[in-house]
Amino acid sequence: MDRTDTPDAEETPLLFDKRKPVQDKLTKYGIIAILLIWGTVLLFRVIPSLPGRKFKLAHSKTTKNGLQKISFENVRKDLFKPKMQSLQWLNTPEAKENDKGLYVANIDDRYVIKSVFDRGYSESLLNSKNFTFQGVEYKVDSMAAAPDLSQLIIRTNTKQNWRHSTFGSYFVYNKTSEEFHHIGDDIALAKWSPNSVDMVYIQGNNMYLYSTESHTTVETITSDGDARVFNGKPDWVYEEEVLESDCALWWSPDGQYIAFFKIDESQVKEFTIPYYVQDKDDLYPEMKTIKYPKSGTPNPDVDLWIYSIKEKDSFPVNVNHLSRESSPVLITEVVWVGEENLIMKISDRSSDILKVVLVDTLNKESQLVRKNPSEGGWWEITHNTLYIPKNDTLDRFHNGYVDLFPVDGFNHLVYFSSFNSSKPIILTRGEWEVVGGPLAFDHELNRIYFIATRKSSIERHVYYVELHKPEEIHPVTDTLSRGVYGISFSAGARFALLSYRGPKVPYQKIIDFKSKENLDFGELDGNILGKTLYYLEKNEKLREILKEYDVPKKEFKELNLGKDDDGEDILVNAFEILPNDFNPKLKDYYPVFFYAYGGPNSQQVLQGFSIGFNEVVASQLNAIVVVVDGRGTGFKGKRFRSLVRDNLGEYEAIDQISAAKLYSAKKYVNANKISLFGWSYGGYLTLKVLERDAGEYFKYGMAVAPVTDWSLYDTVYTERYMHTPQENIDGYVKSSVHNATSFGKVNRFLVMHGTGDDNVHFQNTLKFLDLLNLNNVENYDMHVFPDSDHAIKYHNANNMVYDRLLNWAGKAFTDQF
């Protein structure tokens, strides 16, 4: 037997000499013991870095520092949702000259007029959220005050239609007499006239004029409305993609005219959606048919009409004849620029050419005042064109408007000093963008307020510029600190609700831009212009709650994805969320959960405050969450976003794959556990990434409500980026999800969709499943949500969809597939 491991009196280890003193032996034993101890310590330190350590989900509810982790349960309870208020500013007749900052507040179930200027001012509009009419009790679902605040329009018995539209019963309430009067049922919309006496309402797709003096319908404005002709309200595609609202009518400033859309859907093809679980006793599905124009098929025919209150008659503008387009044009915006003039924006169906038409309602004449080609990109639809009224004293010699316009490849503010001018004055310029357009105009100071990315494309700060001092940009918010701000202005632009939305805990405050008091710069919080009157919301409760939680760290960065076709670096915005107790010394350990949307001109990487599904993934799945805004997304200029024109799905997929390649090379990342999740366009992008990557970097994918073929999606959105299939058939084929063989090389993927999706039809997923069947691809899971629309919320579906995503990803990361 070999005994060299334990020396004793009879056997001499090779390391020792009998002739040495005893103390030498003791010394050497001591040295060996020390070496063994240190070796053991080093071994335990090295072990976590050794390959092969098994990945585990984060089962503990707390982190090493004793704080709680983010869970789905508390996210669903909105525990981390900041409380944010909105003010319904009141645009009273005297507000431009004497702005008191009036707004409507809901206090103790009462609707009350308040003033930010005089906090003690309070005037009741309606004393309860409920009212009784002819013995029947009703609940107030929404209300709108007349301009002079004397009366209210109230909607009750509300039924949701599409995303923005509803039907309901409408009443008018008189504050003085405290009487309610029933206008009608199944009404889609009601809007006050500027005279505070009349209103226009829409019922059965026809428009009616109602007088609160006689409490009767005094005029039938249109009579041709039916299931195919819409007057004053949008059809499905105009509501969803163009106006993004339920309203397609506009009162003139003096209330003498109503401009409105007449939309004829006669040529638009129908799409039928079956609903299976609306009633448990139904034996047959309920079939709902909508007019839905798919790419390359006929659009609705739309024209702008003008109704004269005085003449009690209407006339059309005839926009298709005016624009000389062979197919129906898109009317994207209508703005009154005076009491008798308005401008409207029209474009061809592919948004290549933008035209601005001036309408003279008095003479019933129209003229084309400017025509602007997109020059390689496209014209996005905007709704913030701002009327600038004439004022000789303040050097505004004509009625004009401020618009959003490309300047050197970036969206900026320009001023058309006359409404029939075709050449603008450039107000802002630079390699940054104005977001949305002008927000407010101070009539006394000639000051235009706006939000822009001037500091950073992933921040939002408030600025102003004066009409007669173009390109002199003044910050309103503190640009020395990171921030995402929103702002809404009172009617005279003296007061504003400033909303700080991150990255720290959000707050809201009321500021006064015309305070004569000196500012104390040591106490400023967010704004460097305007006196802070008071905080509307500090979210102090949320701040206290967060002290008990270890929110996974979010780090914003700019990734270099390599070289583009011109040899220039592809620099994209991104952020990563590291899991709790993240240990960068672990080797081949952490999975990576990519989340993407990626649609044209969109943005996900923004330094706002949010604790939601991504943080749950990081906390509960012990995964690194990564979000990348690749090429095609917004706020980095025209060149960056317009690259995807006519070729959706290619560059967006390339950039996600390049980012995955970067993360797969990180020592602490397990390159075999990289996944991608997306919803809607993000679902489409997920499938295009899996198709292109074929399992090289992305091993797993989760696609929710995906587009799979752009010929199945609506005309207005799709053709803006792809033109029509007739013009770009190769682009449509290439951009579709078509290579089933690639999906067979992915470890596994998940597809989920709602059958009642009126936006991205379930047909998209069914066609994709058929493709998989034809090619014997079986490495996927499928979950269908009966009757759910695009948001997937019907019958507990929203809980189910996110539970499924989290559990499915957990199985992927723990090798259960």
The residues annotated as belonging to the active site are 680, 757, 790
Taking CA atoms, 395 is separated from 388, 399, 441, 444, in Å, by 12, 11, 15, 11
Q: Cβ-count burial of 105 within 10 angstroms (0-12 exposed, 13-18 middle, 19+ buried)?
A: middle
Phi-psi region of 205 (alpha: psi -120 to 50; beta: other; left: phi over 0): left
Which alpha helices (DSSP H) does 723-759 contain, by range? 729-735, 740-743
Number of alpha carbons in the 13 Å side-chain half-sphere of residue 135: 0
Which two structure tokens, joined as six digits, stand for 155?
């909607």
DSSP H or E run through 209: strand 206-211
The β-bridge partners of 488 are: 497
Virtual CA dihedral for 761, 762, 764, 770, nearest 10 degrees?
-160
Distance separating alpha carbons of residues 513 and 447, to the nearest angstrom: 11
φ, ψ of residue 603 to 5 degrees: the values are -155, 130
Secondary structure of 409-462 as H, E, C letters: CEEEEEEECCCCCCCCEECCCCCCCECCCCCEEECCCCEEEEEECCCCCCCEEE
Closest CA to 508 of 51, 87, 71: 87
816: left (phi over 0), alpha (psi -120 to 50) or beta: alpha
φ, ψ for residue 573, nearest 5 deg:
-80, 145
Helix, strand, coil % (nearest 5) of the chain?
A: 20, 35, 45
What SS3 class is residue 660?
helix
Asked whether the beta carbons of 570 and 561 are under 8 A apart, the reply is: yes
Q: How far apart are CA 227 and CA 312, in angstroms?
A: 25
Q: Is 531 exposed, middle or buried (0-12, 13-18, 19+ CB in 10 A)?
A: middle
Q: Which of 770, 561, 544, 803 is nearest to 663 (CA)?
A: 561
Query: Can you tell me whether residue 269 is helix, strand or coil?
Result: coil
CA atoms within 13 A on the CB side of 133: 19
Q: How far apart are CA 527 and CA 536, in angstroms?
A: 15
Give the tokens for residue 54: 């098994």
Q: Measure the N-to-C terminal CA separation of the chain; round to a whole number of Å.
A: 50
Q: Structure tokens of 396? A: 């505004």
Phi, psi of 302 (to 5 degrees): -125, 140
Contact at 8 Å (CB) between 600 and 646? Answer: no
Sign of CA dihedral 661, 665, 669, 673: positive
d(CA 624, CA 615) in angstroms, rounded, equals: 10
Helix (H) or strand (E) holding 32: helix 22-46
* DSSP class of 380: -
Kindly report the number of other CB atoms within 10 A of residue 339's CB atom. 15
- Tokens of residue 770, six digits: 């058929």
The pair of three-digit structure tokens given for residue 291, joined into one six-digit string:
């007019």
Beta carbons of 204 and 130 less than 8 angstroms apart: no
CB 386 within 8 A of CB 402: yes
296: left (phi over 0), alpha (psi -120 to 50) or beta: left
